[in-house]
Amino acid sequence: MFKARKTIDPVYDPKSYHQGLPPAAWAHGPHLDSWAGHSRDGRNIWWAIGPVPAEAGMVLYPEMAGQDLPPDPRTLYLKAGCPLPPPTYLPLDAGEMLVFDPEILHGTHLNATADTRVAVSMRLNASRPLFDPGCFYAREFWRRAADVEAGEDVVLHLPREDNLGPPAPARPRAPAAALPVAHAPVAAADGVIRATLDPISASAPRVIVDTPDQRLLIARTRAGLRAYDAGCPHYHVDLADGGADGDRAYCPGCALAFDLTTGRSVCASLALRGHDVWEQDGVLHIRRTP
């Protein structure tokens, strides 16, 4: 029954998002569970069997509640171009439970610790599920709590088409607090890229410099001007969509934090590649590291 009901979508391709990495190196990008076919009126429970530090746990983005959040049909994670605030980390002690609304934007932090994260994940509905009319696939097979408590393995089939919720209400797209972007030509004969800054970019703490073959992140830090590749070294997700506080920038995909004074993260093998950068008369000069 399950296999007969399963829908294969020609666009959905989560394996390409993980880029061939082993499951231990996966991280779920920000998403709403209804995008992936879960009921949108349930509650998620994340039960930590062992300690789950912030660098290996769930992250939430409660500031995004009520906003129009478009999914990427390839991954069913948040579509690129939606700037995020810094993630809210949710460390758990052994035995603690995190209970949250699956329609709050959430994801998982890349496990940057040396320990295996052990947790039980479950979803509970107080009544029949309500599936998002826009999802291409729904989790139609359920178990009742009373049957589980009685030790009976009874599976209920609740077809998607019989349990559709109302369309999501129209919501205005929140104003994007996107980073200023400066466009630059290819490197000059001396190997230096030059990007002219407008007044907004000249005073912004972070600026994206677009070249024909690469995006660069320029940061004004307490230690001075810094330049890095704009893609997170984990999945190469564009850091332009990630939040920042002080001298830290966060990957909008795996929630990893990068120290913009050094380019380092808590994971020794994941650091931003730095480049030489200086500013003169409103022009950024960047000499890329080979």
Query: In which band, very low, low, confident or very high, does the pLDDT at 111 lie, cut at 50, 70 and 90?
Result: very high
CA atoms within 13 A on the CB side of 263: 20
Domains delineated in the chain: 2-162 (no CATH), 181-287 (2.102.10.10)
Return the pLDDT at 2.
57
| Whether pLDDT at 167 is above 80 | yes
Q: How far apart are CA 71 and CA 38, in angstroms?
A: 14
Per-residue model confidence as pLDDT tens digits over 216-225: 999 999 999 9
Residue found by looking up tokens 């107080």 in the block: 126
Return the pLDDT at 5.
67
Lowest mean pLDDT among 2-11, 164-173, 259-268: 2-11
**Does an H or E element contain 194, and which?**
strand 193-196
Return the pLDDT at 188.
77
Return the pLDDT at 185.
73
Q: How far apart are CA 174 and CA 154, in angstroms?
A: 44
Q: How far apart are CA 240 and CA 232, in angstroms?
A: 10
Report the chain's mean pLDDT, rounded to a whole number.
90
Return the pLDDT at 265.
97
Per-residue model confidence as pLDDT tens digits over 186-204: 677 788 889 888 877 878 8
| Whether pLDDT at 25 is above 60 | yes
